[in-house]
Amino acid sequence: MTLSQRDKKHLWHPLTQHKTSPDSIAITRAKGAVLYDDKGGEYIDGIASWYTSAYGHCNEAIVERVKRQVETLDQVVFAGLTHEPAVELSEKLIAILPDNQQKLFFSDNGSTSVDVAIKMALQYYFNQGEKRQVLIALEEGFHGDTFGAMSVSGLSVYNGPFEDFFLNVKRIPAPTSENREEVLNQLKAILEEEAVAAFIYEPLVQGAAAMKMNDAEGLDALIGECQRQQVLTIADEVMTGFGKTGKHFASLHLNNQPDIMCLSKALTGGMVPMAITSCTLNVYNAFYSDDMSKGLFHGHTYSANPVACAAAIAGIDLLQSEAMQQNIQRVIASHKAFDQKIKQHPKVAGTRQCGTIYALDLAVNMERYGDLRKKMFDYFLANHLFMRPLGNTIYIASSYVITDQQLERIYNGIEELLDTVV
């Protein structure tokens, strides 16, 4: 029995309708930007396995650091105890985060980092005797699958059956160069009418919204208005963090910095799961009290897992290395060159780029997970490319170590798809 056949006996995969998509490709190993299956097939990973393996699969520096850590300390409770990997990680991460970020709270994944951020914001006011229960989020935002994260997400394809159970969230359009004033006025109206605790946003790029890109100047104005009115701001950098936008964090492209940040995915270079919610001293101090009940009663068994911390330390070292920064600039330049070639194609409705993230929209209406999308997905696989189109959007969010030749194969695959499938 093959690995794929054994898989079907017991496993339930994410974002999968198993009746119409019963088979999964069995991946046995990965290296750099390539995935290898159990039949000898090779696939260029054009999305860094959901934006996690930013420095390439099985990066030697991360593997070596993790090996050393496993031999010393594998897991220990983080309530009342600490350890060197967590402390070292805190020092390295604070050094590259926006200057106002001073405290780190660990959890397990992107969704839980958002849940922690929401709880921080709501309890921040509760601890000061103020009742604020409204959150503001961007339309088409996506922040995760746990209930708090779902509440502030705006994609009904994920949230439909659960919307009656959500927190109180008001949504505004993502700012663009055309609608800045209109969106700012909508925000001001909500702030005037509601007791708002926080505004949460994906800075510059809304990943699950098919890499929809928002306007930095417009977003800056929204953040600034919230901060003038003592409303906390939460930057969800789970997808955009650790170099993808050309800077270490998307927030560094803005003048106004968030009160709280959510980090995961490339935090550990795709090696093991971990998340961090960072915040300012002002936020932290609202919980600092002789009253035990004012503490943040949120905890995960694997918080600050030493092995995950070791992977994150190695990842930050790689991110800051001259070689990796050169790789990032190389990928950015390569996408720009491809864009000049492809954007005039008659089947391309539009293109956009933010750092190493590149997206193009097809000039065709289609369902997000419809038949044409499946044909596109299957076409890429048949051409040994692992890509996951989002509706009529094809995007590239590869590792930084992807070679020029591998990028060229992705570009050629997209061009051939436009000429043969769409």
- In this predicted model, what pLDDT tens digit does every residue of 175-221 receive, in sequence order? 999 999 999 999 999 999 999 999 999 999 999 999 999 999 999 99
Mean pLDDT of 146-170: 87
> Is-same-fold flag (3-58+326-420; 62-320)?
no
Cβ proximity of 361 and 345 under 8 Å? no
Higher pLDDT, 15 or 56: 56
Cβ proximity of 47 and 387 under 8 Å: yes
Residue in this structure with the two tokens 């919230």, named with its chain if needed: 226
Determine the average pLDDT of the residues in 53-71. 98
What residue spans define the domains of the chain?
A: 3-58+326-420, 62-320
Q: Quick: pLDDT tens for 400-413.
A: 999 999 999 999 99
pLDDT at res. 103? 98
46 Cβ neighbours under 8 A, 6+ residues apart: 380, 385, 386, 387, 396, 397, 398, 410
pLDDT confidence band for 270 (50 / 70 / 90): very high
Q: What is the mean pLDDT of the chain?
A: 96
**pLDDT grade for 421, boundaries at 50, 70 and 90:** confident
CB 331 within 8 A of CB 246: no
Residue 76 pLDDT greater than 80, yes or no: yes
The pLDDT, as a whole number, for residue 255 is: 98
What is the sign of the dihedral through the CA atoms of 143, 145, 149 and 150? positive
Bridge partners, 31 (sequence order): 34
Over residues 47-66, mean pLDDT = 98
Give 43's strand partners.
35
Q: What are phi and psi of 239, to 5 degrees?
A: -90, -45
Q: Which amino acid is at 376?
A: M
CB atoms within 10 A of CB 350: 11
Take residue 89 and report the two structure tokens written for it: 């990680």
The span from the CA of 231 to the CA of 223, in Å, is 9
Amino acid at 317: D
Q: Over 90: is that where the pLDDT of 286 sits?
A: yes
What average pLDDT does this structure show over 124-142?
97
Highest mean pLDDT among 16-25, 92-101, 160-169, 371-380: 92-101
> In the CATH scheme, what is the code of domain 62-320?
3.40.640.10
Say whether pLDDT at 47 is over 80. yes
- When mean pLDDT is compared across 9-18, 232-241, 368-377, the lowest value belongs to 368-377
Whether residue 156 is predicted with pLDDT greater than 80 in this model: the reply is no
Mean pLDDT of 375-387: 96
- Distance between CA atoms of residues 93 and 245, nearest Å: 17
Mean pLDDT of 331-354: 97
CB 148 within 8 A of CB 135: no
pLDDT above 90 as % of the chain: 92
What is the percent of the chain with per-residue pLDDT over 70, rounded to a whole number?
100
370 has a pLDDT exceeding 80 = no
Over the Cα atoms of the chain, what is R_g?
21
Class of domain 3-58+326-420: alpha beta
Section 127-145 average pLDDT? 96
- 151: buried, middle or exposed (CB in 10 Å: 19+, 13-18, 0-12)? buried
